[in-house]
Amino acid sequence: MSKTQENFIELLKRNTPSQTHLAAEIADLLGVSVDSVYRRMRGETAITLSESILICNHFGISLESLAGDSSSTVNFQINKLSNDPSTFKDYLLGLLEGIQKANRFDQRKMIYAAEDLPVFYHFFLPNLARFKSVYWTKSIMNLPEVQLQKVEDIQSPKEWKEIVGEIGKEFLNLPSIEIWNEDTLKSTLQQIKFYWEAGFFSEKPTALDVIEDVNQLILCVQRQAEIGKKLHPAKMQATSTDYQLYISDLMIGNNTVSLQSNETKSTYIGYNTFNYMITKNQQFNKNVELWLNNFISKSTLVSLVAEKQRNQFFKKQRQTIEELHQFILNDD
């Protein structure tokens, strides 16, 4: 067996949960027998380029993994968002697939450096979820069919809501470490204020309902930090999933997520407001993990400890929310 093929097989094993029958899954993918796959895994039969591409695409592995990681060149998988509504569905499916794969492993966690509110939280509260989907599709993706419509007029497709529901379930089952700072909430509130001032809300109560959902979300995150477990933001029901929150005085810079499961790691880098790109490049992931750990070392843990700092932080967040609430409430 060539060293490249040997490394590729080892990479596949690391990216597959122990309960998964790797050979059977590859056999179904390639349309060959399980024995034929075992011959490839033992190096008796070479894996062709076309087979490698199929396998890489199926398991979410980049072709660069076949030749080993480079410290100077990194390949990323991206979502090709456009003004076609189907690409937003693909975006949602990509989020779902990523956390579903992670949750198949016993040892797993997400480290989320949150320049903005972590994207997963938006999906639980109906008014906030609706507003964010409108903002993303109307202002960022520039979908033609919604440009002349108000927030109240735009309805998300049923299939989007179904995918969002699945994302929420998976997220609540994924142990997470989050790093926030005082600006994490800022962009969401600015978006709401802009939509109000631009006349994109038909009615004041609609905007106020979105703000109330943001307030509910902040209460949820504070409660999560108090008990060290994730909660369902709408129902405020605690789960058994571990949760840690760090507060940083440093500028985070961009949304960065390290998704770790057993021996595998993936890095998600935010760009273009809410989109993301993904890599499994080992050296890059190590560098990101070092950066995140350094960030954590300079931040304050407020989960289960540091009650005073935790309460002060969330008090400021609620004050900022209330200021926007009063601005819209009193704006004629």
Strand pairing of 176-180 and 108-113? Answer: parallel
- Percent share of the chain, pLDDT over 90: 38
Give tens-digit pLDDT for 162-220. Answer: 898 899 999 999 999 999 999 999 999 999 999 999 899 989 999 999 999 999 999 99
In CATH, the number for domain 3-66 is 1.10.260.40
Give tens-digit pLDDT for 34-54. Answer: 788 778 888 778 888 788 778
Cα(198)–Cα(279) distance, integer angstroms? 38
To 10 degrees, the CA torsion angle through 236, 239, 242, 245? 0
Examine the pLDDT at 256 and tell me if it is beyond 80: yes
CB of 95 within 8 A of CB of 11?
no
CB of 69 within 8 A of CB of 136?
no
pTM for this entry: 0.79
Question: Quick one: tokens of 226?
Answer: 């108090």
Question: What are the residue ranges spanned by the domains of the chain?
Answer: 3-66, 77-329
Cα(147)–Cα(137) distance, integer angstroms? 9
Query: In this predicted structure, what is the pLDDT of residue 65?
Result: 58
Q: How far is CA 125 from the centre of its chain?
A: 17
